[in-house]
Chains A and B, each alone.
Chain A
Amino acid sequence: MQTKKISFRSYYGVLTVLLVLSLIVAARVGAVNMGYEKIFLFIQRALGFRHDVEVNTVEEQLFLQIRLPRVILCALVGAALSVSGTLMQALFRNPIVEPGLVGTSSGAAFGAAFVFVMGKSLSGGWMDALGPFLLPLFAFAGGLIATWTVYRLSNVFGKVNVNTLLLAGIAVNALAAGGTGFFSYIARDPQARSIVFWNLGTLSGADWNNVGIVSVSTIGGILLSLRYTKALNALMLGETEAGYLGIRTDRLKTRIILLNTFLVAVATSIVGVIGFVGLIVPHILRLMKSSDNRFLLIGSALLGGILLNIADMLARVIVAPSEFPIGVITAFAGAPVFLFLLIRSNRQQQKGGFYA
């Protein structure tokens, strides 16, 4: 036990260093590349030092108001999606689950699109009172309905049926995507609220406001989820066995679905649907041969931030000065992993276990 705890800590250490490095590198590159000395100078000035130095204020503003919030938002969204993937995989007891597949993301997108398009015409007293919470709230409601539907359909007599899960996911995703498409079709505000944004996501709208909202939901959600690691581990043995270990499984399931939806919905309402992140990240971590959910949750919060920052960097660099939707990159990386896992899950029917 002892040696293992130390090795987990060293994984966290390595991942944290990589996360900081990825943030710095991602902040440097883009349509305008900046040197590292410049970046550090800007950061120092933002913190109130080095005001004696002359700098290019346009570049400084570009860095502080666009680039920096973007990479931080990206790390937060990556963490939220990956942690949510880990939670969903633990709940469904299946490694091919992620928020994009079980409907959370598309449901949340539908809720958010509804507010964007219909929000003005619906504005009554109570909706105005909600103010900035209106968007995350509707995204949350949409994501929750979608996730709950898929979970209930696929969970028959306490056992999750993967085929039903995938089919129910397809149906709910199609329904939500159809609704989102309808709203973006009738939308007056054409540029940012396009179908591409909702289906493939983008971080180009990042500002400090968004960073604030997503950091509250992501950090709060991750801290809350750490309370359930023991219960989620026990759930790996099955619901009955977990019950014998003193876990109140019904209450646990409800809370995990709520928590997952909260994490994903807030992020999705701001950056759109980014698929496959929640699938790949826990999978990479499981290659370390442990499925201890405490390790997976902390690890995916860090690794998710790293990988999504790399993806976003690619999205900005490949066709610079224009920009790729980030969902294209994550789909290219994630869909093959998904197929690979699916093949293995078919083989598993004959063999002992998924990773055996």
Chain B
Amino acid sequence: MLSIDNVSYRIGGKQILAGITTTFAPGLLHVIVGPNGSGKSTFLQIFSGELKPEEGKVYYDDLPIAHADKTTLARRRAVMSQLPELHFPLSVNDIVMMGRYPHFNFQPSKKDSAICRQAMERVEITALSGRDYLTLSGGEKQRVQFARALAQIWEPPSSPAESRYLFLDEPVSSLDIHYQHQFLQIARSLVRDNIVLVAVLHDINLAMLYADRILFMKEGRVAAEGPSPAIVTPSLIREVFNIPVQLLENPQSAAPVIVYDGSTR
């Protein structure tokens, strides 16, 4: 369970987050959506432990992360951001192995190598393992980073009361529609009883298709949260994104779809 208790954050007098309190339960895919500048990414950085909140606390189960050692945190929590750009040639293998860095000192053990192999199998990039990362396509790179994040928290924590935490920060923004769905299907399939899975997405339609719960953010606050897709209504979208929309139904799958409902010219 990821618990966030009254978290606020400010940059140079501008209130980015204003007293957010919420929880993310394991066993569900949580998606955070919101307009640009609503504080989604800052929020993710705060509950990842990369930024310190000005006020409020974040707990991984019972552990207040403000006082946790960075390596301890990294053994339980992995984050995948938008594609990091590399300036040096590195093999796919080397990058996935970075996920094991919090777990070994100098030399990776046989177990670390085995975990990397399994993580690469999981996202179907075994064939790429010897390739130079810089020569891969955007979709392939994204899956390599995904494998790295998975390798980082591959083993379940020693205590059954503890969860693992996987956070995805706009993971599909740079991908085409095929890779977007492929990526989110893999993410969906990771849902487990002891994994807290939170993703920040831009696309409400993708969120409705894959999320179990959606949290809407606006101006540093939680505008609404609830089960997906039931929570999504045209009036909520209008309120959060300030844009008129219609809610349609996909004639094939009966899945709800949001479309823009204003004038286009």
Binding site for B on A (CB under 8 A): 1, 4, 93-95, 230, 233-234, 236-238, 240-241, 243-248, 286, 289-292, 348, 352-356
* Interface contact A290-B102, CB-CB below 8 Å: no
A292, A348, A355: residue with the most chain B Cβ atoms closer than 10 Å: A355
Chain B 44-74, CB-CB to A under 8 Å as 1, else 0, gives 0100101000000000000000000011111
The answer to whether B81 touches A290, judged by C-beta atoms less than 8 angstroms apart, is: no
B99, A245: Cβ atoms closer than 8 Å: yes
CA distance A93 to B50 in the complex (A): 20
With A244-B79, A355-B134 as known contacts, state yes or no: A1 contacts B90, CB within 8 Å: no
Are A240 and B87 touching (Cβ within 8 A)?
A: no
From B48, B87, B106, residue with most partner A Cβ within 10 Å: B87
Q: Which residues of B contact A230 (CB under 8 A)?
A: 101, 106
Asked whether, in the complex, the Cβ of B90 is within 8 Å of the Cβ of A292, the reply is yes
B75: which A residues are within 8 A, CB to CB? 246
Contacts of A243 in B (CB 8 A): 50, 70
Instruction: Say whether B70 contacts A236, CB under 8 Å.
Output: no
Q: Hey, what's the 0/1 contact readout for B170-202 against A, CB within 8 Å counting as 1?
A: 000000000000000000000000000000000
**Cβ of B99: which chain A residues have Cβ within 8 Å of it?**
245
- Are B73 and A353 within 8 A (Cβ)? no
Q: Across the interface, do A240 and B135 meet the contact criterion of CB distance under 8 Å?
A: no
CB atoms of A244 and B78 under 8 A apart: yes
Smallest CB separation, A124 vs chain B (Å): 45
Distance to closest chain B CB from A164 (angstroms): 16
Would you call B94 an interface residue if the criterion is a C-beta within 8 Å of the partner chain's C-beta atoms? yes
Chain B residue at smallest Cβ distance from A296: B88
CB contacts (< 8 Å) of A238 on chain B: these are 84-85
Given the complex of chains A and B, what is the CA–CA distance between A106 and B71 in angstroms?
Answer: 38
Q: How close is B75's CB to chain A, nearest CB, in angstroms?
A: 8
Given A233-B101, A244-B74, 14 more A-B residue pairs with CB atoms under 8 Å apart are: A4-B93, A95-B87, A233-B94, A236-B87, A237-B86, A237-B95, A240-B50, A244-B50, A245-B74, A245-B101, A246-B72, A286-B88, A289-B91, A292-B94
Residues on the A chain within 8 Å of B91, using CB: 4, 289-290
- B48 to A244, Cβ gap below 8 A? yes
- Asked if B70 contacts A1 (CB within 8 A), the reply is no
Of the A-B pairs whose beta carbons lie under 8 Å apart in the complex, a sample of 26, sorted by A's number, is: A1-B108, A1-B113, A4-B91, A230-B101, A230-B106, A233-B98, A233-B101, A236-B88, A237-B95, A238-B84, A241-B81, A241-B84, A244-B74, A246-B72, A248-B70, A290-B89, A291-B89, A291-B90, A348-B87, A352-B134, A353-B86, A353-B133, A354-B86, A354-B88, A355-B87, A355-B89
Min C-beta distance of A347 to chain B, whole Å? 13
Task: Contact check, B113 vs A237: say whether CB atoms are below 8 A apart.
Answer: no
In the complex, B132 has a CB within 8 A of chain A: yes
Q: Is B152 an interface residue (CB 8 A)?
A: yes
Residues of chain B contacted by A290 (CB below 8 angstroms): 89-91, 94
Centre residue among A93, A237, A290 by max chain B CB count within 10 A: A237
B84:A237 contact, CB within 8 angstroms: yes
Q: Chain B residues in contact with chain A, CB under 8 A?
A: 45, 48, 50, 70-75, 77-79, 81, 84-91, 93-95, 97-99, 101-102, 106, 108, 113, 132-135, 152
Within the complex, the shortest CB–CB distance from A82 to chain B, in Å, comes to: 16
A94 CB, nearest partner CB in chain B, Å: 6
Contacting residues, chain B, for A244 (C-beta < 8 A): 48, 50, 74, 77-79
- Which residues of the other chain, A, contact B113 by a CB distance below 8 angstroms? 1
A245 near B98 with CB under 8 A, answer: yes
Query: Would A246 and B84 be within 8 Å (CB), given that A286-B89, A290-B89, A290-B90 are in contact?
Result: no
Contacting pair A246 B85 (CB below 8 A): no
A234 touches B86 (CB 8 A): no
Q: How far is the CA of A94 from the CA of B135 in the complex (A)?
A: 18
Alpha-carbon distance between A240 and B48 when the two chains are bound, in angstroms: 11
B70 A240 Cβ-Cβ under 8 A:
no
Residues on B with beta carbons closer than 8 Å to the beta carbon of A291:
88-90
The 8 Å CB contact of A1, one of B50, B73, B93, B134, is B93
- List the A residue with the shortest CB-CB distance to B138: A352
CA A110 to CA B96, docked complex, whole Å? 44
* Bound-state Cα–Cα, A244 to B50, Å: 7
Complex CA distance for A236 and B81, rounded to whole angstroms:
14
A247-B70, A291-B90 known; A234 and B135 CB under 8 Å?
no
Contact among A246, A353, A355 for B74, CB-based, below 8 A:
A246
- A353 with B87: CB separation less than 8 A: yes
Once the chains are docked, how many angstroms separate the CA of A241 from the CA of B235? 37
Q: How near does chain B come to A273, taking the closest CB pair, in angstroms?
A: 26
Distance, CA A277 to CA B79, complexed state (A): 38
List of A residues within 8 angstroms of B70 by Cβ: 243, 246-248
In the bound assembly, the distance between CA atoms of A289 and B132 in angstroms comes to: 8
In the complex, chain A residues whose CB is within 8 Å of the CB of B133? 353
Knowing A245-B99, A355-B134, say if A94 contacts B87 (CB, 8 Å): yes
Cβ contacts under 8 Å, B73 to chain A: 246
Cα A291 to Cα B95 in complex, Å, equals: 11
User: For residue A4, which residues in chain B have a CB less than 8 angstroms away from its CB?
Assistant: 91, 93
For B69, the closest partner residue in chain A by CB is A246
Specify the chain B residue showing the minimal Cβ separation from A243. B50
Would you give the shortest CB distance from B248 to chain A, in whole angstroms?
Answer: 38
Q: How far is the CB of A290 from chain B (nearest CB, A)?
A: 7
Min C-beta distance of B195 to chain A, whole Å:
16
Task: A264 to B93: give the CA distance in the assembly, Å.
Answer: 33
CB distance from A228 to the nearest CB of B (A): 11
Contact status A245-B152, CB under 8 Å: yes
A247: B residues at CB distance < 8 A: 70, 101
**Contact A354 B94, CB 8 Å, known A234-B101, A243-B70:** no
Question: CB distance B90 to A236 under 8 Å?
Answer: yes
